[in-house]
Every structure is written in structure tokens, then in C-alpha cells.
Amino acid sequence: IFLASPSALTGSALFFAAQRCIRALKTVQAEHAPPQHYTWRRNCSSAVMPRITSHYTIFPRDKDPRWEGVEMERFADEADVVIVGGGPAGLSAAIRLKQLAKEQEKELRVCLVEKASQIGAHTLSGACLEPSALNELFPDWKERGAPLNTPVTEDLFSILTEKYRIPVPMLPGLPMNNHGNYIVRLGHFVHWLGEQAEELGVEIYPGYAAAEVLFHEDGSVKGIATNDVGIAKDGSPKDVFERGMELHAKVTLFGEGCHGHLAKQLYRQFNLRENCEPQTYAIGLKELWVIDEKKWRPGRVEHSVGWPLNRNTYGGSFLYHLNEGEPLVALGFVVGLDYTNPYLSPFREFQRWKHHPFVAKTLEGGDRIAYGARALNEGGYQCLPKVTFPGGMLIGCSPGFMNVPKIKGTHTAMKSGMLAAEAIFPKVTAEDPASETAGLHIPEYEDNLKKSWIWKELYAVRNIRPSFHNYFGLYGGMVYTGVFYWILRGKEPWTLKHAGLDSAQLKPAKECTPIEYPKPDGKLSFDLLSSVALSGTNHEGDQPPHLTLKDDSIPVANNLAIYDGPEQRFCPAGVYEYVPLETGEGMRLQINAQNCVHCKTCDIKDPSQNINWVVPEGSGGPAYNGL
């Protein structure tokens, strides 16, 4: 989130602005004045740690005696194209394929699998939708009843201090300007896309997660297999054990969203990330509130930066007034996952932010009705991997086409899905595909991406996010954007680099000061567990925890010892808890897998990179309604 101040044009004005900035920043820093102590936990454990991980990805079943004699054959089916993930990218790709099939009167079997129990239940976003991709996909979207009910009418940007608000003018040409866009409840929009897809004949299977990538003998992707069901918490088979199903396809599209777990595997398998920087992320937390009618301004978009984050922690807030009958606002907070202080809790920063006078006055007297969280991409152009490989391709936020300063990724995700469909269609319907590998390799998709408006957009804004890595942090970044984006439109010849892997950014706990967060007051701010209850998340209890650890001993030995267990703080659902051992001295990690909201933050931010998020039994996870 960010903006430019026009006075930063001339060199001397820059210097004075810098001086004023430094003075202002010293005040902001003083607000986080450290209490001169920190907790240091001794964690020598004399007792035996109970086993945490039992998932078959860590403990293979072919070596496990409990699985001897269990029927492991899978039913397989063939389709032309299989799509993993029922989000904007996956659904747009499916729709575009069927539209082309209808136009050219060809038959095409398109199957889409989605881990949520219904399309839209795992979708979470702000969101201000730029209708550019939608106009290309369905020029008649209004007649079809797309739920774009709230055109943006006002756009506000503020820099917050603890008590005050500095308004910043939203000049046209700035990336954040929202003229012509719509505030949507993305879950409802995705649900509508799902209905359009089904009408066109796409086979959609919600409640079935793609758990495994299948390969041909020649190494190309053959398709996917859905999750097995009926495995007990200790990893043994239950009476109701059933193997997942294999879906084979000529091409498989992976649209798992930000930091997909199958995509992680594909990066390694096909070495797709050798020429790009590692992706950097942020976590976004969101709530829906029904507010007092007198405070409701439908169509108003508010963004802020500054308090409660310090200038070196990237992040900010959004508050959108929806126009769907009742006085509903969607609000939330984003924190860049390259933060350095292991004591930072994005959830508590979010709750704290709501107490700012400018925000509290909108929320006072209102009721919170929904909560959720999800990681999002911040890397942009520098972090785009190779997106095609034999047998498949990556679409949407999985490779990561989000335009960070605009804070929009839905339109680029949809467009990437459509471009993928257009590249695939001639190949899968051709009589003789003329492919070297059994799974089709379609590099035309990547060429099409490079020629499209997605590439131009991402190139123009590529230096904005990395420009935050300077002494002045947020303010330096804003100055950079003012000069190089607003005026020069991103044409500068250099490309700045990001800071590296998010998980490597944490400083050891002893070098940082704990942050004193205020207690939730139950009216504006809330505790973690009541928030998780609102997300509607649930999983079958008797299954292996899907937050798998490569090594069960590392959390206490490394995460707790050096970083004071940051996963207790960055998980927005309270999955990770360090609890005292029942006997003996020391702590152990307890994983409450049922609380998981599938945000993927732990897989991203774990300093030991020991946590590997895999997909749980299908239809588990949050039950977002229009989030």
C-alpha cells in the first residue's frame, strides 16, 4: 500500500522533506519505545517429545506395516484439461476453454477440482475489482447478474499516527486510484463465475482436493490425484479408508492461489525458479462488519499506512463500504511477511489498528460478522517463475501476477487463466498434438503473457515494493514512487531486488523487543479464538495434521530457542501453540490443525522452513460467505 507526495520533486525539497521525515520518524519510533526487558525461555527439555507429524508425505506408507495389504489401486479417468483450484484464475481458464469450444464447435472435457466444500468458500480478498479482464471474458456480465454492485465513488488515503490522520491526495495516475472499479465480495463473484462455468459445461468438483501430481514415464505431468479419505490421526487406515481418484489430462493447469502446495513441488521438479527471485509475501486479515447506517458511505474506499506499524514494516489497511442492501463494510490489514521482529503478531496489529479514532468512528455500534486471513504475493515482476512445463502450466496468484501498489491481483489472475486457455485450445483439439512429451508442453502461454497488458502493468510497478528497503522504509518508498512511477511511469532502466526469502528475515528474539499489544475490548477488537470461530473453519478431527513438519524436533530446538516461537504469533488461526510438557521441563509444539484457515503463512514464514503445508481431506477448511 503506498503513494507519492508531489513535493518530493526537486532535490532541495527532497532534502527538507527528508529532514522532516527523520524528525517525524523519531516520534513514530518513540511510540514503540521498548520496555527494557524481554522474555527468554529456557527450553532444555529432559522429557521425550510426543510425535507431532504422522502424514504419509513424511512417513511413506509403503514402508509402514499398518498399511500392509490395504488396497492402494486408484480409479482413473481421462479429461482433456484438468484445472486445480476454483478461484478467479482457474474458473476463467475453464470458462474461456468452453467458450472457444462452443465457438469452434469442438468437444472438450474440462474438469476442475477445488478443495473447498463449495466454490467461493476459501476465497478471501479486499476487494476492489478492476473489470478489465471480466469485460474481455463476459462483455455482458451485467445482464448475466455478476455481483458487481458497488462502483467506487470516493477514494481516501491516509498516513496514520497513533492519534491523528494525515490525508494524502489521490491524484489520477497513481497506482492506487480506483476510478472505474467495483468493490466486490470476491467469494460471491467467484461463486457466480462457478455458475457460469457449470452452465458452459465445465465439470466442477468442490470438496475434492488435488493432493498429488502424477507424472508420465517421460517426466511430464500426467494429471493429479485427489486426496485419500479415512486415514486416522496417527496415520493408520480407518474402516472407511478410500483412495483418492486420478484425473489424467493432456494439460493440467495449477491455479492454487498464493503459495500453492503442488506448485511448491513443481518448482523443484522442473526447476522453474532458476531465473527469478524467491517470491515475497504478505498476510492479509479481513473482517466484515454491519455498521450503523448513519456511518455508511456506499462506494467509499479507504486505505491507510503508518500506525500501528513502524516505518520498516511494510503493510497497511483497507476499509471498503459495500452497497448490497445492508450497511456492510469490508475491512482488513496487510503486513508484509518480510518483517524482522519475531514478536510481531499481524492479527494483533489488525485488532489494534481498529482502535484508531478514524477507524473506530466508523465501526462504533457495529457488529462483526465474518473473519478470515490469507497470504498474498508481493514479489511482482522480479519473482515470476517459468510458468509452463511439460504437461502443465501455472496460472493466477500461484506464480503471482498481483499488482502490489494497486493492491489488485484478481484482474491479472483472470487474464492469465484466459491466456492459458487460448494457448491450450488449439493444441488439445488438434488431431496430432506433435508433442515431444506425453503431457503437452505449451510455451506459447508464456509468450502470450509477455505480450499482454499483465506484463506491461507488472513491469511498470516492479520497483515500488523493493524501494521500501532503505533507511526511511515506508517514506523512502513513497518518495521513490512519486518520482519514478507517477512521473516516469516505471521507465527507469534498473530493476531493484527484494530482500530475499521472507523466512530468512526474522532477527533472533534476543535482538528484538516484545511488542505490548492492548487487550481486546470485545467491541472493536477481539481475541483470536472467537475470530477463528467466525471463519467457520472445520476439519475432520481424526486425520493426520496437514501442517507437516519435516523434523519434529526443530520447532523447540530452533524456532522456540532462537526466535521465541514466532508461529504462535503469525498464524491467524491459533494453530501453533507452545505448551509445557506434561512431565519434565520444557515446552512442546502443539498443532491444532482443525483451526487452520489455509492461509499458507506458516509455510512461508517459518524461519526453519520446516513446516510443509499439505492439503487436508477435501471440504475441510474455512466456510467464508462472500469474503
Residues annotated as catalytic are 125, 374, 410, 571, 596, 599, 602
Q: Which three cell numbers stand for residue 327?
A: 450497511
C-alpha angle 185/546/338, rounded to 5°? 65
Any idea how long the chain is?
Answer: 627
Q: Note whether 339 and 313 are within 8 A (CB).
A: yes
Q: Report the number of secondary-structure helices (H) and strands (E) in the chain.
A: 16, 26
Q: What share of the chain is helix, strand, coil (3-state, %, to 5)?
A: 30, 20, 50
DSSP symbols for 512-553: S----PPPP-SSSS--HHHHHHHTT-B--SSS--SEEES-TT
For residues 223 and 247, the answer to whether their CB atoms sit within 8 Å is: yes
Report whether the peptide linkage leading into residue 623 is cis, meaning its omega lies within 30 degrees of zero.
no
Residues 6+ apart with CB under 8 A from 359: 317, 319, 331, 353
Please say which residue, 372 or 379, places its beta carbon nearer to another protein.
372
Q: Which amino acid does the sequence have at 485?
A: Y
In DSSP terms, which residues pair with 395 in a beta bridge? Answer: none
Least Å distance, CB 242 to another protein, is 5
User: What residues make contact with another protein under the rule CB under 8 A?
Assistant: 75, 77, 117-118, 120-121, 187-188, 191, 203, 205, 208, 226, 229-230, 239-240, 242, 244-245, 290, 326, 369-370, 533-534, 536-538, 623, 625-626
Of 126 and 206, which CB lies nearer to another protein in the complex structure?
206
Q: Before 308, cis peptide (omega within 30)?
A: yes
Which are the contacts of 130, defined by CB distance < 8 A and separation ≥ 6?
180, 181, 406, 408, 410, 411
Tell me the C-alpha distance between 308 and 555, whole Å.
29
Residues 199, 492: Cα–Cα separation, whole Å? 46
Whole-number Å distance between alpha carbons of 556 and 256? 31
User: Where is 159: in which H helix or E strand?
Assistant: strand 154-160
In the bound state with another protein, the residue whose beta carbon lies nearer, of 28 and 328, is 328
How far is the C-alpha of 95 from the C-alpha of 93, rounded, in Å?
6
| Residue carrying C-alpha cell 493466477 | 396
Which amino acid, one-letter code, is at 59? F
CA terminus-to-terminus distance, the chain: 20
**Per residue in 557-579, is it b (16+ CB within 10 Å) or e — as a string?**
eebbbbbbbbbbbbbbbbbbbbe
Query: How many Å apart are CA 364 and CA 327, to the nearest integer?
Result: 13
* CB of 146 or CB of 587, closer to another protein: 146
Q: Are strands 392-394 and 388-389 parallel, antiparallel or unpaired?
A: antiparallel
By CB neighbour count within 10 A (0-12 exposed, 13-18 middle, 19+ buried), where does 486 fall? buried
Helix, strand or coil for residue 558?
A: helix
Helix (H, G, I), strand (E, B), or coil: what is residue 562? helix
Q: C-alpha grid cell for residue 134? A: 471480466
What are the backbone dihedrals phi and psi of residue 415, each rounded to the nearest 5 degrees, phi first?
Answer: -65, -40
